[in-house]
Amino acid sequence: MTALPVITAMGGINAAGRSALHFGFQRLIFDALPEIQRQATLRALAQLTGRAEDAQLDGTLIRALPEEHRLHAAISGTSDIPVTLEMRNMDLPDPLPAGWQVTPIDKRRSRVTLPAGLGLNVPLDAPRRVSAAGQLPEGFDPSALYASRNHPRALQMAIFAISDTLGDLGIDWTAVASKVRPDQVAVYASNAMSQMDDNGLGGVMRFPPNGHRITSKQVPLGLGEMTADFLNAYVLHSVGTTGGMLGACATFLYNLEKGVQAIRSGKVRVAIVGTSEAPLVPEIMEGYRAMGALAEDQDLAALDNAGQADLRRACRPFSSNCGFTMAESAQFTILMDDALALELGADILGAVPDVFIHADGGKKSISAPGVGNYLTMGKAAALTRQLIGAQGLQRHSFVHAHGTGTPQNRVTESVILDRTAEAFGIQTWPVVGIKSYVGHSLGSAGGDQLAATLGSFSKGILPGIRTIDHIAEDVHRHHLDICLQHQQHDDLQASLINSKGFGGNNATAVALSASITESMLRQRHGAKAMTAWQQARETTLANKAHFQEHCLNETPKPVYRFNEGVMGDEHVTLTSRSVRLNGGTEMPFDDDPTLREFQLDRD
């Protein structure tokens, strides 16, 4: 019997703040909140940033990059005369290039004279053409919260984000681990760009030309799947299934699909899914700018016929626009099979019955959109109709659009959404686009959307695209209601979360609300099981209330268990039938019943 993947926790960090307990979502809909929730949102941000509560609104969402965030380029030239400079002895090349004259100054430094005619690179701070980005809240420094030991920023963010998720879970991780075999836990986490700052692969490429040495940590810490590795080694101490998918802007949904399928198949009972993306590196942003993807300052100003760009409104999905706005984000969710969620008394935030992924087929430009998103959206709409009925799809679902803010996206995505709505008899399908608030975090974008989806289910509010005042004429919207203002909805039952990534990486996830999920579980498990779950959940809700007080009143305390619980050969008990680690739960080597027809009788 197929298990239903139930969402039991959501956490993370992006330009809106922390995702747990819907704090980040509340920043998006701040104007629509009652006063008590507004104050809670500001207090939670203040604990993250160390800044006054009245400074939090200006220090969140899309805003201007710091002045020092610039591309450090170089001008090439040739010297007609010898050039003399001082160098550290440890930086001298061995052997010395021909013509170099070296005179020791002391034990550590030398004077070096280079011959005339050599090519020289003179550093130059290039003019900045893109000044807006979706940055973590101003003052928040994930590296200061634990012994980060030169970790790349994306890994620092991942440590905070998974800790935030565990707090939102409301159940001690050891209690979860004690209920399942170690090989029934999976971690699927990665990012689209790898770790490209100086502590990761960016330093590997940037250091030698700038006179710095590559360290032993930069290559391993720069690997794309290191997000999952860090969670396993330093937070969860998991030996279960691990890995991560890479799918450009759809990376989070690719990982989510892995978790959903692993739970539905029965291979695992708990799946931790996520991404951590930190692409606000000048060279990376210049690369995206060079391909014409980013909204440049002068083009933003031109949209408003203004002398200066309105950077707070840099991302304008489905309106007159000129490019997307880069962002950083780390988002994680914990999925459980429905039976385990009930047994543990987990707080059920929703469910993800499936995620659909399709490529575009033949292309002319690898970055151009194609037809694959028709397949993912159509299949997602059909599954939603199957699970909650045609009326549920038509009247109680909404779309979390990819909505990047580029001229190409506003046309290509809107036509797909509009045609899907028409095909399924939807008259006015609500469409939201939260990149207008938090920017485009590349691989983490689907996680930003899932966190906001759960927020909408909880609060009954769809966030409007407040950075625009009109819909562009070339947007297809005969059957779409593109939300410009916040909308109150009393019975949101499902969301289709859409991603259209570079290269033809299309993915659409179906997310079901908590109320719909509970109705499904009541139908499957019966009223008695649901009553028992509600009673067990009281402890979980009390723990979450305690975590909320922590968020409102204390500095974050990430979970980082470095050099704890390390196991070696002596901790392994191995037979031909099973393996046991450190005297724990036995993990049997069961025959695979699905391969029985191929089994050769050779005994």
Whether 557 is in a domain gets the answer: no
Q: What is the CATH number of the domain that holds 499?
A: 3.40.47.10
The C-alpha atoms of residue 273 and residue 256 are separated, in whole angstroms, by 6
**Beta-bridge partner residues of 500:** 506
192 and 98, same domain (yes or no) = no
The pLDDT of residue 385 is 99
Residue 530, in any domain of the structure = yes
In 427-543, the DSSP E strands lie at 429-432, 461-462, 480-482, 487-488, 494-501, 505-513
Looking at the fold, whether 223 and 109 belong to one and the same domain comes out as no
One-character DSSP codes across 153-184: HHHHHHHHHHHHHHHHH-S-HHHHHHHS-GGG
Residue 296 has what pLDDT?
Answer: 98
In a domain, 540, yes or no: no
| Across 328-352, average pLDDT | 99
Residues 481 and 594 in one domain: no
Query: Are 226 and 85 members of one domain?
Result: no
Q: Is the pLDDT of residue 191 over 90?
A: yes
510 within domain boundaries? yes
What pLDDT shows up at residue 78? 85
Residue 316's pLDDT band, with cuts at 50, 70 and 90, is very high
Confidence of residue 53 (pLDDT cuts 50, 70, 90): confident
The pLDDT value given to residue 23: 99
Q: Which residues have C-beta within 8 Å of that of residue 519, sequence separation ≥ 6?
A: none
Q: What pLDDT sits at residue 73? A: 72
Task: Please say whether the dihedral angle defined by the alpha carbons of residues 15, 16, 21 and 22, taken in this order, is positive or negative.
Answer: negative
**472-506, pLDDT tens digit by residue?**
999 999 999 999 999 999 999 999 999 998 899 99
Q: How far apart are CA 588 and CA 194, in angstroms?
A: 35
Considering the domain architecture, whether residues 200 and 61 belong to the same structural domain is answered as: yes
Number of domains in the chain: 3
Which range marks the domain in which residue 593 is found?
572-598
Residue 273 lies in a domain: yes
* Residue 41 half-sphere exposure toward CB, CA atoms < 13 A: 26
Active site residues: 249, 402, 440
pLDDT at 263 over 80: yes
CA distances from 124 to 70, 118, 389, 562 (A): 10, 19, 61, 40
Average pLDDT over the chain, rounded to whole? 96
532 within 8 A of 346, measured Cβ to Cβ:
no
Q: How confident is the model at residue 151 (pLDDT cuts 50, 70, 90)?
A: very high
**Does residue 563 belong to any structural domain of this protein?**
no
594 lies in some domain: yes
What residue ranges in 31-155 does DSSP mark as E strands? 62-64, 72-78, 83-88, 101-104, 109-114, 119-125, 132-134
Q: Of 483, 517, 534, which one is at a domain's C-terminal end? A: 534
In terms of domains, do 308 and 366 share one? Answer: yes
**pLDDT for 368 beyond 90:** no
Distance CA 155, CA 201 (A): 13
Final residue of a domain: which of 534, 560, 581? 534
Residues 578, 453, single domain; the answer is no
- 451 and 580 both lie in a single domain: no
Q: Which residue has the tokens 């393996």?
A: 579
For residues 268 and 389, state if they share a domain. Answer: yes
Nearest-angstrom CA–CA distance, 593 and 578: 17
Residues 6+ apart with CB under 8 A from 439: 15, 62, 132, 133, 134, 314, 315, 324, 325, 326, 327
The answer to whether the CB of 205 falls within 8 A of the CB of 260 is no
Contact 133, 62 (CB under 8 A): yes
- Collapsing DSSP to helix, strand or coil, 479 comes out as coil
pLDDT at 572 over 70: yes
Answer yes or no: is 558 within a domain: no
**Looking at per-residue confidence, does 266 or 99 come out higher?**
266
Which pTM does this prediction carry?
Answer: 0.94
Per-residue pLDDT tens over the stretch 111-148: 999 998 888 777 777 789 999 999 999 999 999 999 99
Asked whether residue 112 falls in the same domain as residue 140, the answer is: no
Single out the residue of 285, 334, 314 nearest to residue 467, CA to CA: 314
Q: Would you call 73 helix, strand, or coil by DSSP?
A: strand
Percent of the chain topping pLDDT 70? 100
162's CB contacts (< 8 A; 6+ apart) are 11, 231, 235, 236, 272, 274, 332, 559
C-beta of residue 112 within 8 angstroms of C-beta of residue 84 = yes
C-alpha–C-alpha distance, residues 174 and 171, integer Å: 8
- Rounded alpha-carbon distances, angstroms, from residue 5 to 242, 254, 262, 334, 343: 18, 15, 9, 9, 14
pLDDT tens digit sequence for 230-240: 999 999 999 99
Helix or strand run (H / E) with residue 185: strand 185-190
Is the pLDDT score of 603 beyond 70?
no
Burial of 552 (0-12, 13-18, 19+ CB in 10 A): middle
Q: Which pLDDT score is estimated for 54?
A: 85
Mean pLDDT of 11-19: 99
Is 196 in the same domain as 230? Answer: yes
Please say whether the beta carbons of 370 and 360 come within 8 A: yes
* 266-307 pLDDT, tens digit each: 999 999 999 999 999 999 999 999 999 999 999 999 999 999
Which helix H or strand E contains 282, and what residues bound it?
A: helix 282-290
Domain co-membership, 36 together with 102: no
- pLDDT per residue over 419-478, tens digit each? 999 999 999 999 999 999 999 999 999 999 999 999 999 999 999 999 999 999 999 999
